[in-house]
């Protein structure tokens, strides 16, 4: 597990994954699910 050095440095956007690469840069990658909320299923009578 990593250690948190500084909080709230990067403005995060929903649907993106943030990580630190081998050179120490913060990288942004789009998540496959896109951070969208699940739709609720309609109940059948």
Separation of first and last alpha carbons in the chain: 48
Please tell me the predicted confidence (pLDDT) of residue 44.
75
Which tops the pLDDT comparison, 21 or 2? 21
pTM of the model: 0.55
Pick from 9, 34, 32, 36: nearest CA to 20: 9
- Strand partners of residue 41: none
Please tell me the predicted confidence (pLDDT) of residue 26.
87
pLDDT-based confidence at 8, cuts 50/70/90? confident
pLDDT-based confidence at 36, cuts 50/70/90? low
Q: Residue 34: is its pLDDT beyond 60? A: no
């Amino acid at each position: 597990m990593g250690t948190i050095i500084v909080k709230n440095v990067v403005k995060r956007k929903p649907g993106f994954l943030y990580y630190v690469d081998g050179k120490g840069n913060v990288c942004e990658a789009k998540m496959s699910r896109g951070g969208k909320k699940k739709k609720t299923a309609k109940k059948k009578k």
